[in-house]
């Protein structure tokens, strides 16, 4: 375009000049500005391939008459950070992501945005930002890591995904693995970029995005490094420009009906308990109030139609090959609101109509569910008056009821040491407290102790109860999100070694067998501990974060 013919607003001269310094032409600045919000980094396998994919997206946007403008946000890997105090920063990073993406999009006044993201806190953080920004939005989640199948050696023909690594720690401790086998699992399992190939939080949230209609079909579960993902990136780049032209914003899809549909699908596939935190926080962005009891109500009416690693031997890739999210939604369709729409501009009823069934044993039919209830149960009792969560789809039948003496720890480190030094006995209930949003602070996940418990063969005799949280892929008798948390004076703060704790999943009960009078006396003598962290971001976070019951959002 001839610069002299541009109807330039003198008041925008500084803005244009600075864009010119970034390499944009006057032609570029006349076209729709499409943000590429990318969580690429070199320190997270779920994100390390996103720069390559973003180049495909940007090329497509340019070809179709838009100007792509890429910026980055942070993306912590839960697994890498899952050690000691470092893990306390992971959940709070969700709100940093939401705020940074919102701030950049609003400051630059973009016309549309492609959200390129993967992993546990990044997808929900970008969902929250999308709700706030209210511009045309397409999500491209990063896809799944390849599974590792050994073709020789002591593990020949066995396949592994990342959840197997954590359980291998416990298996090594229990002499169920040799050091050679352990090293092979550690060194070879993560064999490609992508999100962990299990139904943890990353793949649960990617599935939720697809159900809500914010990503294209198959995006949640296809391989991170496949040709079909590159084709999806091209189609997504084309789609965002159509949405901009028609001014169809993210809030067309971040609606109550889509949120409820997404919750039902996630419960039906045995999704992560962490989704409760994220969906409660997202709902708040559109002035919809839900809490973890909402999930329990839905779970009681939603059948479990699939179970994936670590709750079964099937991987997310197996699920994708069986039809993935679209096929699960078709089978679950009588439970869904089929008037919901997606970025293809079609109603869910039409979208599912042409989904062809694939014969498989992975996605069950409604008349033959794995369980009549969904994957998550919310318990209540004098130990958790405001609720606690368990992934019941990953629990052995014999642990649906359990009564045993408490062994109390005031941090994750304490219970990890007890497991390492064989101080846990069959029948115990391990109580880990002061790990909630305020008390941690940060509500770090206890995934390593939980996986060690299972790997050591204690998953059918020992329970865990905490005001912290677990990995989305945790299995076994692991109860988290106990509310009120210990730091707020919840009953979990009053438990003593030897107190008898009773768990009944079917009746949704979590009680300590103490009288109200005894609990009242202990509460009178309880002294609130000093904060563990008194400087930096976590010091601010602990002062403003809500209860886990409502999503641990920044209030």
**Active-site residue set:** 471
323 φ/ψ sector (left φ>0, alpha ψ -120 to 50, else beta): left
Please report where in the chains the tokens 């992993």 appear, as a residue.
119
Are 168 and 193 in contact by the 8 Å Cβ rule? The answer is no
User: What are phi and psi for residue 247, nearest 5 degrees?
Assistant: 55, 50
Helical segments of 375-437, H only? 412-420
Residue 462, both tokens: 């020992």
Please report where in the chains the tokens 């202990």 appear, as a residue.
522
3-state helix/strand/coil string of 156-180 = CCCEECHHHHHHHHHHHHCCCCCHH
**What Å distances lie between residue 222 and 149, 171, 374, 476, CA to CA?**
18, 31, 24, 28
Are 426 and 462 in contact by the 8 Å Cβ rule? The answer is yes
DSSP for residue 434: S
- CA gap 271, 220 in Å, rounded: 13
In sequence order, what are the residues at sequence separation of 6 or more whose Cβ sits closer than 8 angstroms to the Cβ of residue 75? 39, 40, 41, 44, 46, 47, 97, 117, 118, 119, 121, 122
In sequence order, what are the residues at sequence separation of 6 or more whose Cβ sits closer than 8 angstroms to the Cβ of residue 553? 95, 280, 281, 284, 545, 546
Count helices and strands in the chain by DSSP H and E runs: 20, 14
């Amino acid at each position: 375009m001839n610069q002299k013919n541009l109807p330039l607003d003198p008041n925008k001269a500084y803005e244009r000049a600075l864009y010119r310094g970034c390499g944009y032409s006057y032609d570029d600045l006349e076209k729709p500005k499409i943000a590429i919000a990318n969580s690429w980094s070199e320190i997270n396998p779920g994100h390390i391939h996103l720069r390559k994919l973003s180049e495909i997206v940007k090329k497509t946007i340019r070809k179709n008459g838009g100007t792509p403008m890429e910026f980055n946000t942070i993306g912590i890997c839960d697994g890498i950070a899952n050690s000691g105090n470092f893990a306390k920063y992971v959940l709070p990073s969700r709100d940093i992501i939401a705020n940074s993406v919102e701030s950049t999009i609003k400051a630059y006044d973009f016309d549309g945005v492609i959200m390129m993201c993967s992993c546990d806190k990044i997808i929900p953080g970008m969902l929250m930002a999308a709700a706030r920004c209210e511009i045309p939005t397409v999500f491209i989640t990063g896809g799944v890591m390849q599974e590792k199948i050994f073709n020789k050696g002591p593990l020949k023909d066995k396949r592994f995904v990342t959840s197997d690594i954590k359980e291998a720690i416990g298996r090594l401790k229990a002499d169920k693995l040799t050091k050679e086998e352990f090293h092979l699992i550690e060194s070879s399992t993560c064999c490609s970029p992508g999100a962990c190939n299990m139904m943890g939080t990353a793949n649960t949230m990617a599935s939720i995005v697809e159900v809500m209609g914010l990503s294209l079909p198959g995006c949640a579960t296809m391989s991170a490094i496949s040709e079909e993902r590159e084709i999806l990136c091209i189609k997504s780049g084309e789609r965002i420009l159509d949405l901009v032209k028609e001014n169809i914003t993210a809030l067309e899809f971040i609606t109550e009906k889509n949120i409820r549909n997404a919750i039902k699908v996630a419960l039906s596939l045995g999704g992560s308990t962490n989704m409760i935190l994220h969906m409660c926080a997202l709902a708040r962005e559109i002035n919809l109030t839900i809490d973890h009891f909402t999930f329990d109500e839905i779970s009681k009416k939603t059948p479990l139609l699939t179970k994936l690693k670590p709750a079964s031997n099937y991987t997310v890739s197996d699920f994708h090959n069986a039809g993935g999210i679209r096929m699960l939604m078709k089978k679950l369709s009588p439970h869904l609101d089929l008037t919901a729409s997606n970025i293809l501009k079609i109603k869910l009823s039409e979208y599912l109509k042409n989904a062809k069934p694939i014969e498989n044993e992975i996605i069950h039919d409604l008349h033959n569910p794995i369980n009549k209830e969904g994957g998550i149960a919310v318990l209540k009792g004098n130990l958790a008056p405001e609720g606690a969560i368990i992934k019941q789809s990953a629990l052995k039948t014999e642990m649906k009821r359990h009564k045993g003496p408490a062994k109390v720890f005031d941090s994750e480190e304490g219970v990890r040491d007890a497991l390492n030094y064989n101080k846990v006995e069959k029948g115990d209930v391990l109580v880990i407290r002061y790990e909630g949003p305020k008390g941690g602070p940060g509500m770090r996940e206890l995934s390593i102790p939980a996986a060690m418990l299972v790997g050591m063969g204690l998953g059918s005799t020992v329970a865990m109860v905490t005001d912290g949280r677990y990995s989305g892929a945790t299995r076994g008798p692991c109860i988290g999100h106990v509310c009120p948390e210990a730091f707020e004076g919840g009953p979990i703060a009053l438990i003593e070694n030897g107190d008898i704790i009773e768990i009944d999943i079917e009746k949704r009960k979590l009680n300590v067998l103490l009288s109200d009078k005894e609990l009242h006396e202990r509460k009178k003598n309880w002294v609130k501990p000093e904060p563990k962290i008194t400087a930096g971001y976590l010091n601010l976070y602990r002062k403003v974060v809500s209860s886990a019951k409502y999503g641990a959002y920044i209030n």
